[in-house]
Amino acid sequence: MHDPKQQDAASLALHDICLTASSGPFSLEVKPYEHLTVLSDDAAIMDRLTDIIMGQIAVPAGRILISEIECTHFPPDQRAVGALDRRDGLLNHLSIYDNIALPLRARREKPAAIRERIGRIGALLGFDPHTHLRPDASDDEMQFRARFGRLLAYAPDVLILNRPFEGLSDEARARCAKSVMMLQRALNLTILHLTRLRDEAFFGSGRIAVLRGGTLQQCADAPTLMDRPASPHVARIFGHANLMTGYVVRNIDDVAEIRLPCGTMVSAQSSDEVEQDHLCTLCVGPEKIALSLTGAQLDEEDQAPLEAVIQDIRHNGDHIHLRCKLSDGTEVDIRRMPMQYSASIQPGQKVYLAWIAGNARAFPYDEPGEG
Are residues 203 and 270 both part of a single domain? no
Q: Domain residues for 282?
A: 242-364
For residues 28 and 167, state if they share a domain: yes
Report how many domains make up the chain.
Answer: 2
189 touches 36 (CB < 8 A): no
49, part of any domain: yes
* H or E stretch at 82: strand 81-85
* Residues 243 and 232: beta-carbon distance below 8 Å: yes
Residue 328 to residue 336: CA distance in whole angstroms? 24
286 and 357 in a common domain:
yes
Taking alpha carbons only, the member of 264, 210, 236, 290 closest to residue 45 is: 210
The residue out of 201, 227, 253 marking a domain boundary is 227
* Paired residues of 331 in beta bridges: 325
SS3 track for 291-307: EECCCHHHCCCCCCCEE
CATH number at residue 322: 2.40.50.140
Buried b / exposed e over 262-296, threshold 16 CB at 10 Å, is: bebebbbbbbeebeeeeebbbbbbbebbbbbeebe
- Is 54 within a domain? yes
Could you tell me if residue 2 is inside a domain?
no
Q: Residue 5 has what pLDDT?
A: 42
| Alpha-carbon gap, residue 29 to 257, rounded angstroms | 37
Q: How far apart are alpha carbons 132 and 97 in whole angstroms? A: 6
| Contact in structure between 312 and 367 (CB atoms under 8 Å) | no
> Is residue 5 assigned to a domain?
no
Does one domain contain both 210 and 325?
Answer: no
**pLDDT at residue 52, rounded to an integer:** 96
**249 domain-assigned:** yes
Same domain, 182 and 247: no
**208 and 322: one domain?**
no
360 exposure class (CB count in 10 Å sphere: 0-12, 13-18, 19+): buried
Q: pLDDT at position 304, please?
A: 78
- Same structural domain for residues 164 and 258? no
**Confidence (pLDDT) at 22:** 80
- Residues 192, 83, single domain; the answer is yes
Domain boundary among 192, 227, 262: 227
Which pLDDT tens digits describe the chain residue by residue (371 residues)? Answer: 455 445 568 999 999 999 887 888 999 999 999 999 999 999 999 999 999 999 999 888 899 999 999 999 999 999 999 999 988 889 999 999 999 999 999 999 999 999 999 999 999 999 999 999 999 999 999 999 999 999 999 999 999 999 999 999 999 999 999 999 999 999 999 999 999 998 899 887 789 999 998 899 999 999 899 888 999 999 989 878 999 999 999 999 899 999 999 999 999 999 888 999 999 999 999 999 998 888 666 654 557 789 999 999 998 877 889 999 999 999 999 998 876 666 678 899 999 999 999 999 999 987 665 54
Query: What pLDDT score was predicted for residue 150?
Result: 95
pLDDT of 340: 65
